[in-house]
Structure 1
């Protein structure tokens, strides 16, 4: 049974190597910006969860993820979300360890999104690094569903280079929009059946609004899954209710 708690979003934050005095101003739409949901957020660093280790799937991080999730619950989190879509590898372990909803990745939406589309249409999944978005991460068992997934990534760009740097290097919004938009354009050229986009990377929601306008396609990201889950837990829509 899900515990009833005040509306607080707990974030399993990556260990980015930033000092406490490093100024951080999350952009509009960022998972780490309280204004995105109109609710308090509780970040909790997962010790040793450097971006490169999380992306490639270091199994030794699972215990640290569980420890951080438990700390978030103790601090009052009503929902726990991962600050990297590749944390989905630890979804089962984390959700078994706490009594609040756990959403480690927007990839959890794949089955639902495919069923929103006509059978001849495709869902494109945009990731920071396709080299590590394998079948074990996608976890799509149905062969027909898998055939309707198109995977694209920006692993060769500036954003990815900055993301795996220690300490983290922030990437300009224009650069993120350029790299993700260019990837989308290439995928649509190769697969005109694409009718919807899903952003795996938690760094992409800051450009979701702009790319919805440019592409004319529905785009889902981790913030959409957060809003849905918070609404279910709190009985209110953070975007609409006072």
Structure 2
């Protein structure tokens, strides 16, 4: 099957809208192309920094025109689906999806209703977020997380190593300390609420450390990478010459 013509490059089915950051991103992070087993196309949304997006929903919504412009550019360049690098962008999910003609996933939080059904009504979804103090009911309801879904939310705002990397754009973060802090946060959540049946990582920068949670806590972990893989298998033509 031949690809649709009219683009400068081909084979990059997933477009990723990136916040404007400079901190290093290990494999497993959405901002490292080696995370994926297929090509992706990045678009940096200039001036959309983590402090603006995570600060408050109204601040994040003020950046919507920038995200729409970047999403439309990705679509014009041939991507078949679009994701973002910050889970707090749920507040612009509807507008961003309406602005393009390809599927859009702004946040791994969109997986929470699905994961909740997977683990059954007697168990809860543990949500680990960059900042539990600013993750509001509006962020959750924007992607279908309502009072019928039992969630336990914890944040990384007390981790100096994680916080300085994300919000101070630290060029040399302490990755080992970040991993310890993420593990301790998840272990504490599970210890305080044994009914947690799975974790969803809101922040895309948490996902490089999911393996330790899966191995040591014996818990499934879902995040933006699972959403990207779903989109890739659903939207790609997988075309080849024969």
TM-score, length-scaled by structure 1: 0.86
- Which runs of no fewer than 5 residues in structure 2 stay unpaired? 5-9
1:120-173 deviation digits (Å, cap 9, x = unpaired): 11110000100111110111464231xx200011102121122111x4445333
Alignment partner of 1:200 out of 193, 199, 202? 202
Alignment partner of 1:175 out of 166, 177, 183? 177
Deviating above 4 A after TM superposition, structure 1's stretches of 4 or more consecutive aligned residues are none
Q: Which SS does the other structure have where 1:203 is aligned?
A: helix
Aligned to 1:41: 40
Aligned to 2:7: none
Q: Which SS does the other structure have where 1:110 is aligned?
A: helix
Q: Which SS does the other structure have where 1:151 is aligned?
A: strand
Q: Which SS does the other structure have where 1:156 is aligned?
A: coil
Mark the CA change 1:170 to 1:84 in structure 2 (over 3 Å): closer, same or farther: farther
Aligned to 1:99: 101
The alignment covers a number of residue pairs equal to: 225
1: CA distance, partners of 2:54 / 2:73 = 23
2: CA distance, partners of 1:214 / 1:6 = 37
Q: Is the 2:17–2:85 Cα contact (8 Å) retained in structure 1?
A: yes
RMSD across aligned C-alpha pairs, in angstroms? 2.0
Aligned to 1:239: none
Are 1:135 and 2:137 matched, yes or no? yes
Alignment partner of 1:144 out of 139, 142, 148? 148
Instruction: State the 1:33 CA deviation.
Output: 2.5
Alignment partner of 2:13 out of 8, 30, 40? 8
Q: Which SS does the other structure have where 1:123 is aligned?
A: strand
1:211-233 deviation digits (Å, cap 9, x = unpaired): 21111001001000110111111
Instruction: State the 1:204 CA deviation.
Output: 0.9
Task: Map residues 187-226 of structure 1 onto 2, 5 A cutoff.
Answer: 187-226=189-228
Instruction: State the 1:67 CA deviation.
Output: 0.7
- Which runs of no fewer than 5 residues in structure 1 stay unpaired? 19-23, 237-242
1: CA distance, partners of 2:204 / 2:185 = 16
2: CA distance, partners of 1:193 / 1:229 = 30
